[in-house]
Amino acid sequence: MSQNRVDEYRRKFVMALGGTAAAVTVAQGFILREANAAGEVSSRPLDKAVTSDKRWGMLIDVTKLTDGGAGMVEACKKEHGWGNEADSDEAQKTHWARVVKVTDKLTKNSFSLPVMCQHCEQPPCVDVCPTGASMKRADGIVQVNKHLCIGCRYCMMACPYKARSFVHEALHDQKPYSPRGMGTVEACNMCIHRIDNGQLPACVEAAPDAVIFGDLNDPNSTLSKTLKDIGGKQIRADLNLNTGVRYHGI
């Protein structure tokens, strides 16, 4: 991938962030789908700027994840090309998502779940960011603008989910649709490039029987109806962050 090509995608990325008329160019003609675990699809044309009409979210049924979410994490890694730094020790490596094992101290019962950016309605990372690099898009997706990030890492400290990581090393062979940068902070962006192109996030595609993706604002979406039927817990619900990522079976 040439540098010019990467720059071209970066420009498009930044333009899309603003949700302005520029986003129309990026998104025109694409279809945005909402699908449940069984592959049910409804669609609408996405021919206008991002609005708050929709709020994207997902429900992860941990009881249906046979691998504790490892496949979802691998799909994310492959999609965005993170976590392959050669020289870093494990603690220094980037992670957009990780598998967390939880064990009940009393019963010793344990289970694993994938943890990534929870796409909070009131994101602490956005509150503390001094440059505006941490931002929440109108449709609820929380992300980092690499061009504004100065690498101060305040947002890493503020995130209660340890969902953000710092890029220590020079990056090679970047994915053109997911630009990254040494010296910046990064995290799950719900595969914003896929959503804007009418596809499901990579992790959702990797676990079709366990994850429902959709519009939390639509009471008739499969996601909303399922949440109403079986519930969906937030991690650290006590923080009242109203997360876009919910779990069943934790």
Q: Cβ 234 to ligand SF4, closest distance in Å?
A: 22
Q: Which CB, 9 or 154, lies closer to ligand SF4? A: 154
Q: Is 111 exposed, middle or buried (0-12, 13-18, 19+ CB in 10 A)?
A: middle
**From 15, 152, 171, 239, residue interacting with ligand SF4 (rule: CB under 6 A):** 152
Per the CB < 8 A criterion, the answer to whether 170 and 94 are in contact is: no
Binding flag, residue 151, ligand SF4 (CB under 6 A): yes
Stretch of 20-28, 37-45, 108-116, 148-156 lying at the interface with ligand SF4 (CB under 6 A): 148-156
Binding flag, residue 134, ligand SF4 (CB under 6 A): yes
Binding flag, residue 133, ligand SF4 (CB under 6 A): yes
Binding flag, residue 147, ligand SF4 (CB under 6 A): no
> Which residues 21-80 are close enough to bind ligand SF4 by CB under 6 A?
none
Contacts of residue 112, Cβ cutoff 8 Å, sequence gap at least 6? 62, 65, 68, 69, 70, 99, 100, 101, 102
Q: Cβ 52 to ligand SF4, closest distance in Å?
A: 22
Per the CB < 8 A criterion, the answer to whether 31 and 194 are in contact is: no
Q: Cβ 188 to ligand SF4, closest distance in Å?
A: 14
The gap from C-alpha 212 to its chain's centroid, in whole angstroms, comes to 14
> Phi, psi at residue 140, to the nearest 5°?
95, -5
> Which residues 179-208 are close enough to bind ligand SF4 by CB under 6 A?
185
> Any alpha helices (H) in the chain, and if so which ranges?
3-17, 21-27, 70-80, 124-128, 154-158, 192-195, 202-206, 222-230
Site of interaction with ligand SF4 (CB under 6 A): 128-131, 133-134, 144, 149-155, 185
